[in-house]
Amino acid sequence: MAVHRPTPELPRHLEALYRGFAFERSLADDPISSIRPRTHDLRSAEVLGILAATLAIGNTTAIRGALARFFEIAGDVPERWLLETPRAERARALAPFRHRWIRGDQLEYLARILTAYYAQHASLEDAFLAGSDLGGFPGGLDALAHVLRGDSARREIGAPPAGYRILFPSPLELPRSPCKRLTLFLRWMVRERYPDLGVWHRVPTGELRVPLDQHVHWIAYNLGLTARRARSWAAVEEVSERLRRIDPIDPIRFDFVLCHTGISGDCPKERDLAICGPCSVRPDCRMWRGRGRAA
For residues 121 and 180, membership in a common domain is answered with yes
Domain boundary among 202, 225, 252: 202
Specify which residues 84 forms β-bridges with.
none
Residue range 160-175: average pLDDT? 97
- How far is the C-alpha of 146 from the C-alpha of 284, rounded, in Å? 40
C-alpha separations of 16 from 224, 257, 286 in Å: 17, 11, 18
Coil/strand/helix, residue 192: coil
Kindly report the average pLDDT of the chain as a whole number: 95
Tell me whether residue 295 is in a domain.
Answer: no
Tell me whether residue 150 is in a domain.
Answer: yes
- Claim to verify: residue 196 and residue 216 sit in the same structural domain: no
Q: What percent of the chain has pLDDT over 70?
A: 98
Q: Are residues 113 and 223 in the same domain?
A: no
Evaluate whether residue 148 is within a structural domain: yes
Domain assignment present for residue 184? The answer is yes
pLDDT on residue 155: 87
Q: What pLDDT does 293 receive?
A: 46
CATH code of the domain containing 242 = 1.10.1670
> Average of pLDDT values for 278-284?
95
Query: Which phi and psi (to 5°) does residue 213 adopt?
Result: -85, 180
User: What is the reported pLDDT for 291?
Assistant: 59
Q: Are residues 4 and 101 in the same domain?
A: no
Question: 134 and 55 share a domain?
Answer: yes
Using the predicted structure, report yes or no on whether residue 242 has a pLDDT greater than 90. Answer: yes
For residues 293 and 126, which has the higher predicted lDDT (pLDDT)? 126
Both 179 and 269 in one domain: the answer is: no
Question: Which of 202, 225, 256 is a domain's end point?
Answer: 202
Cis peptide bond N-terminal to 161, omega within 30: no
In a domain, 34, yes or no: no
pLDDT digits (tens, 9 = 90+) for 6-35: 889 999 999 999 999 999 999 999 999 999
Quick check: is 180 in a domain? yes
The pTM for the full model equals 0.95
* 234 domain residue, yes or no: yes
Is the separation of the CB atoms in 208 and 183 below 8 Å? yes
- Local confidence band at 290 (pLDDT 50, 70, 90 cut-offs): low
Please check the confidence at residue 294 and state whether its pLDDT lies above 90: no
pLDDT tens string 181-217: 999 999 999 999 999 999 999 999 999 999 999 999 9
| Residue 52 shares a structural domain with residue 122 | yes
Domain that holds residue 149: 39-202
Domain boundary among 202, 221, 251: 202
Same domain, 176 and 82: yes
pLDDT band at residue 116 using 50, 70 and 90 as cut-offs: very high
Instruction: Clarify whether residues 111 and 191 are in a common domain.
Output: yes
- Quote the pLDDT of residue 295: 42
In tens, the pLDDT along 85-113 reads 999 999 999 999 999 999 999 999 999 99
Query: Into how many domains does the chain fold?
Result: 2
Q: Tell whether 268 is covered by a domain.
A: yes
Give the model's confidence band at 3: pLDDT under 50 very low, under 70 low, under 90 confident, else very high: confident
What's the CA dihedral at 82, 60, 41, 78 to 10 degrees?
A: -20
Q: What is the mean pLDDT of residues 121-131?
A: 98
Same domain? 189 vs 261: no
Closest CA to 28 of 195, 211, 210, 265: 195
> Does 192 lie in the same domain as 76?
yes
Instruction: Say if residue 178 is in the same domain as residue 215.
Output: no
More confident residue, 88 or 152: 88
Q: Helices 87-94 and 104-118, interaxial angle, to 10°? A: 150
Residue range 26-52: mean pLDDT, rounded: 96
